[in-house]
Structure 1
């Protein structure tokens, strides 16, 4: 089944991870062409976000775009080191 759009309702801790960390992780996923993170609600301990992810054949398992099996792999590292 091809996944073209995901809508995620995410409550995250106020301090960690940052929205930049979340954005960086989403960007690495194979098939993601664009995404939007909207802050819907903020209280003392949590931040409520709505994340819309769009692309063609999004890899729901979360593998990086390079196809490397380790989730920590990033595109910059793979350009010179990934054997895929």
Structure 2
């Protein structure tokens, strides 16, 4: 997040004025369930509990291409490094 802020501060306003950006990288798009399991594998002692009675049909991917194309931002680290 700090890197993205620094990039925006150094970018000319003409490149970004009126734009909305998702901060992240397409390679890090994963489901909440998978993210929870991944966090458990990285940080010992964490337990993920899920309520199987709750049905959540939301399924979408966040598009980060705008930030990559406008200001050349890509995530520097993989998910494991970001979590730690």
* TM-based fold match above 0.5: no
Bigger CA radius of gyration: 2
Say which structure is richer in helix: 2
What TM-score comes out, normalization by structure 1 length?
0.24
Q: Provide TM-score, normalisation by structure 2.
A: 0.24
The one of the two structures with greater contact order (alpha-carbon pairs below 8 A, sep at least 6) is 2
Which structure has greater strand proportion? 1
